[in-house]
């Protein structure tokens, strides 16, 4: 009889135990940023709070906490060229859950030469557009 009671209590304790927290799914868009701006997003079923960390290495030593709260996304800006690693975990009532798989994001800004090419192309388009407008205005004035 005592064995049955112990078995029943053990089974009830399994049912009453809090569910194990799963590691969130972490994604980046884009994973290679040429303008220094990218978005991290994550999701985990039934989670209310998260902790997001960043590091220069995949071992997260040292790691810096970027965010703690209920949001499921964060926009990262202002990073210089380099490799950045991110991980996120659920902060549950019974403590933190496991970390997500590390996510690597590469920041590689456009070179100065490429930026100057964009500028020159933009200036040419502006000049052509301005010439077309001026020509059209002159033709309208000359038309009786």
Please determine, for residue 17, whether its predicted confidence score (pLDDT) is greater than 50. Answer: no
Question: Burial of 19 by CB count in 10 Å (0-12 exposed, 13-18 middle, 19+ buried)?
Answer: exposed
Whole-number CA gyration radius for the chain: 28
Asked whether residue 97 falls in the same domain as residue 119, the answer is no
Q: Does residue 73 sit in the same domain as residue 136?
A: no
Q: What is the mean pLDDT of residues 42-66?
A: 93
Residue 66 lies in a domain: yes
Domain of residue 127 covers 111-144
pLDDT of residue 10: 52
Total domains in the chain come to 2
- Three-state secondary-structure class, residue 48: coil
123 with 102, same domain: the answer is: no
- Does residue 51 sit in the same domain as residue 117? no
Looking at residues 49-75, what average pLDDT do you find?
A: 95
Identify whether residues 49 and 65 lie together within a single domain.
Answer: yes
Please check whether residues 48 and 84 belong to one and the same domain: yes
**90 and 38 within one domain:** yes
Q: Is residue 15 part of a domain?
A: no
Domain harbouring 25, CATH code: 2.60.40.10
- What tens digit of pLDDT does each residue of 107-128 get? 999 888 988 999 999 999 999 9
In sequence order, the 6+-apart residues with CB closer than 8 A to the CB of 23 are: 44, 89, 90, 97, 98, 99, 100, 101
For residues 34 and 94, state if they share a domain.
Answer: yes
């Amino acid at each position: 009889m005592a064995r049955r009671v112990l078995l029943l209590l053990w089974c009830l304790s399994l049912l009453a135990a809090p569910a194990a927290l799963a590691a969130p799914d972490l994604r980046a868009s884009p994973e290679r940023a040429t303008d220094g701006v990218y978005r991290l997003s994550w999701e985990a079923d039934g989670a209310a709070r998260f902790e997001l960390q960043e590091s220069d290495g995949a071992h997260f030593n040292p790691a810096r906490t970027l965010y703690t709260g209920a949001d499921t996304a964060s926009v990262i800006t202002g990073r210089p060229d380099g490799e950045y690693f991110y991980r996120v975990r659920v902060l549950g009532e019974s403590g933190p859950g496991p970390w997500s798989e590390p996510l690597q994001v590469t920041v590689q800004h456009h070179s100065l030469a490429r930026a100057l090419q964009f500028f020159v192309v933009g200036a040419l388009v502006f000049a052509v557009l301005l010439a077309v407008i001026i020509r059209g205005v002159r033709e309208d004035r000359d038309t009786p």
